[in-house]
Chains A and B, each alone.
Chain A
């Protein structure tokens, strides 16, 4: 009920953040080192990056739009950073925000006309968007078509006044661990930014938009620009997630992000809970590991996986976080 100012200082929230930081930045690396399962770094990096992209999708849900087009922006962000790094010789650390900004700019152009659509119509158009991005990647000369772009360099170092801020990833013994820290740090940043957004007046305006656009505009809310703002932040997240993904795998193909990924981003949000900022983070984690855990079931994997998902959505229509595992209040 209180205004955002006080709620951010609740003791429960401080403990929550401390536990979160301790687990992700201390406990997980320690457990991985102790068990020798360094492959988990790659897995967890993927989860972090996918949850950044899913966070973007969640934000479009927040303004009342079903977004099945995030794959397009992840793909675009990946290609932009790959091209900037490989062809223009730009530092990855510059290419990364540029990839996000490129996606945000594209989403403004695309969003202005299509955000007028609602419900299933918007969903369909965004679905097509993913396919358009894939076909563009196949057709444009700069993306190298179906062969994709491979052997991309690892992110270089950053030095300021002789002090190494970020080491050259190529000189590291375990670049995967570095990518893990990078991705988790960025994920934390994105979710923190989104949390603040949702709990600020902008968030309340977005909710007003979600609940009744006509009334929102009659109380003076510029609904068109608010929608575009939310969508461009969403796409920025998608682009940044895609760009790091490409840096991790050092390659990108038109099939790197497909309609399947777009759908998964959306499912992550459903599973975690549309009413909770951290829903997409939990949803991505559960969905990713859930899928992997079912690997032993062989050809029944998809069947079992889908059945469980359907059952979960029926039992918990508001997502896993509606169980309030940490006593969280509805955000």
Chain B
């Protein structure tokens, strides 16, 4: 499998605090890679660095032979690296369908001015976005909620909407920030299937997640962070045996890493 994303020596300091310390790893095309670690290990910061929401203090992120660290988030998104959010971040005042349609922005072939004038190309874009949005909404099981205001959706569906918004951008890599947080067992299992289905669409997935059983189930490979540094990388089975990982999770080691 080809490498899609390469993280080289990524470091982020906030004043005296080193949130992410010299982290390097590679993401292969079509895999599901999870980033785990105890609270405060720097997972979310690392995520923001990869999606260009933060500028690294040192190190670089390369995507398909292009350096994307230091670009603005919309540029990274344009190249195909798209992030969904931890807090159920959606456009609250829009319906489910409107949320997903607007997220097709990157696929526009017409210019903004073209959209203003309503040119043939702009109308073709609009029709295509509406059609594609319908498909994505059905794919994520949101069909019944199509015209509901996003702010009225129950928790699990909000998460699905977040993924729908991400998918609408036609990403190469989708960064999912805690996709299973706050879900019960059944919901998590359904969501795991959903994430797998997303991968079947040709999207490479990068996850930050706390739910160890889900991570072990879903991931091709896992990167473990502790105090901002990478302490392990490998397949789920290797990670479960890794002494440093067990030590990092010490106190509740057995249960929390799913042994």
Contacts and interface: CB of A to CB of B under 8 A. Distances in A.
B89 A212 contact: yes
Nearest to A223: B74
Given A215-B165, A217-B73, A219-B77, A196 B91 contact: no
A219 B115 contact: no
A220 B82 CA distance: 8
Contact of B118 (A5, A211, A215): A5
B169 interface: yes
Contacts of A4: 118
A201 B77 contact: no
A200 B116 contact: yes
Given A214-B85, A215-B90, A215-B91, A204 B118 contact: no
B102 interface: yes
Given A200-B118, A219-B82, A219-B168, A207 B74 contact: no
A202 B123 contact: no
A1 B130 CA distance: 12
Nearest to B91: A211
Given A3-B126, A202-B115, A217-B73, A212 B91 contact: yes
B29 interface: no
B102 A219 contact: yes
Interface residues of A, number: 26
Nearest to B77: A220
A313 interface: no
A218 B82 contact: yes
A120 B94 CA distance: 25
B110 to A, nearest CB: 8
A108 to B, nearest CB: 16
A215 B84 CA distance: 8
B143 interface: no
Interface string B73-102: 110011000111100011111100010011
B93 A218 contact: no
Contacts of A202: 112, 115-116
A324 to B, nearest CB: 19
A222 B116 contact: no
Nearest to B115: A201
A197 interface: yes
B91 A218 contact: no
B246 interface: no
Contacts of B93: 207, 211
Interface string A283-301: 0000000000000000000
A221 B98 CA distance: 15
A205 interface: yes
Interface residues of B, number: 37
Contacts of B83: 218
A208 interface: yes
B126 A201 contact: yes
Contacts of B106: 219-220
A55 to B, nearest CB: 16
B122 interface: yes
- Please report whether the interface of chain A is mostly helix, strand, loop or mixed according to DSSP: helix
Interface string A208-235: 1001101101111111100001000000
A88 B74 CA distance: 44
A7 to B, nearest CB: 12
Contacts of B73: 214, 217-218
B124 to A, nearest CB: 12
Contacts of B74: 217-218, 220-223
Interface string B36-53: 000000000000000101
A312 to B, nearest CB: 23
Contact of B94 (A197, A200, A207, A220): A207
Contacts of B108: 201
A146 to B, nearest CB: 42
B103 interface: yes
Contact of A217 (B77, B84, B94, B122): B77
A210 to B, nearest CB: 8
Interface string A1-27: 101110000000000000000000000
A5 B123 contact: yes
B219 to A, nearest CB: 23
Nearest to A197: B116
B105 A218 contact: no
Given A207-B91, A208-B102, A218-B73, 11 more contacts: A196-B116, A201-B112, A201-B122, A204-B101, A207-B102, A211-B91, A214-B89, A215-B89, A215-B165, A218-B85, A219-B106
Interface of B: 51, 53, 72-74, 77-78, 82-85, 89-94, 98, 101-103, 105-106, 108, 112, 115-116, 118, 122-123, 126, 130, 147, 165-166, 168-169
Interface of A: 1, 3-5, 196-197, 200-202, 204-205, 207-208, 211-212, 214-215, 217-224, 229
26 contacts: A3-B123, A4-B118, A196-B116, A200-B118, A201-B108, A204-B101, A205-B102, A205-B105, A208-B94, A211-B92, A215-B165, A217-B72, A217-B73, A217-B77, A218-B51, A218-B73, A218-B74, A218-B77, A218-B83, A219-B77, A219-B169, A220-B82, A220-B106, A221-B105, A222-B74, A224-B72
